[in-house]
Structure 1
Amino acid sequence: MNRFLSNATNRIDAKGRVSVPAPFRSVLAQRDIQELYCLQDLVFPAISVGGPELLERYERQIACVDPFSPEANQMSLLVHGGGVYMRLDSEGRLMVTDFIRSFTGITTEVAFVGRSDHFQLWHPQAFHEAQRIAREGRALTGVRPM
């Protein structure tokens, strides 16, 4: 498996750490991702987590516009000002920092959500609500799962 798929909810321990699900750690290892780029998602109340290529993807988008334009400045503010680097500890846990908590509302549990080339950290109820809304939106447009 070389993609982040599915979702899982894990409890935050007394020291503020959460275990990253084994399938997600496996993808990180397979892709040799040591340092995680974490970004406040541009749409959802979630933290997007991936390797350096996730940051590079956003930087390529920024590079396509005039570097002095409002669009480039706004994107840089979100991508660079709303991002941090993090690492897993030796046991595959991630520290749930104020950066994560304040943006997502996460308190005691974290929903890990696969997004193909990266994964996201969500407050579990917010994830289930966003997923419900997405399903309803697909049903309203007449698009049904295959």
Structure 2
Amino acid sequence: MAAEGNPPIGGQFRGRYVNRLDAKKRVSVPASFRSVLSGQGLVLRRSSRHNCIEAWPANLFAHDIPAITPNDFTDDDADDSYYVNYADTVDAAPDNEGRLVMDEGLLRFAGIKDSIAFLGKNQIFELWEPQAADAMIEAARQRMQARATARRGVA
């Protein structure tokens, strides 16, 4: 188990942690992430932006969701959103030992086989195949550096 990062402050998920999947497809949630969750469940879903799994605290995922009506199903954008955000999600909660049982379909989507990288992302966290996580972090650093350089007008 590798750990990098600081303990969460103000309900934020921060840091990068890599934990192994066991034979039953369980993984230990980092202790600092469990402390932010304070016993509440998670909603796991495929990311719409990356090949990773988003982990949303259940109360945040459910926050300010408007009631739907039959008319909502005539709007293609809303209908697509319901499929992506509700039909393709998994409710999960760490067990008494802090382990999550991972969904096989989500693991396949993210290309995760034997280890999971947990990446803190403020109020949510993401689960990645470890090498893909490292590549994403490095690419993000390079993009931020390029934007900062462009803002300063340096070529």
**TM-score in terms of structure 2 length:** 0.79
Paired residue for 1:107, among 102, 105, 113?
Answer: 113
Q: Equivalents in 2 of 1:143, 1:78: separation in Å?
A: 36
Equivalent of residue 4 in structure 1, options 1, 6, 13: 13
* Structure exhibiting the larger radius of gyration computed from Cα positions: 2
Sort the Cα spacing of 1:122 and 1:15 in 2 relative to 1 into closer, same or farther, 3 A: same
1:139 aligns with 2:139: no
Cα shift at 1:103: 1.1
Identity of aligned residues (%): 30
| Structure 1 segments of 4+ aligned residues over 3 angstroms from their partners | 57-60
Contact 2:13 2:36 in 1 (8 A): yes
**What are the ranges of 5 or more consecutive residues in structure 2 without an aligned counterpart?**
1-8, 151-155
Distance in 1, Cα, partners of 2:136 & 2:31:
24
- Secondary structure at the aligned position of 1:18 is classed as strand
Q: Following the alignment from structure 2 to structure 1, what is the Cα–Cα distance between the partners of residues 117 and 65?
A: 27
Q: Which residues of 2 match residues 29-40 of structure 1 at below 5 A?
A: 29=38, 32-33=39-40, 35-40=41-46
Q: 1:82 to 1:143 in 2, by over 3 A?
A: farther
Partner of residue 41, structure 1: 47
Give me the whole-angstrom Cα distance separating, in 1, the residues matched to 2:64 and 2:128.
Answer: 21
- Among 65, 85, 92, the residue aligned to 2:98: 92
| Per-residue CA distance 1:65-110 (angstroms, 9 max, x = gap) | x722111111111101221111211100011221221110100100
What TM-score does the superposition give when structure 1 sets the normalisation length? 0.84
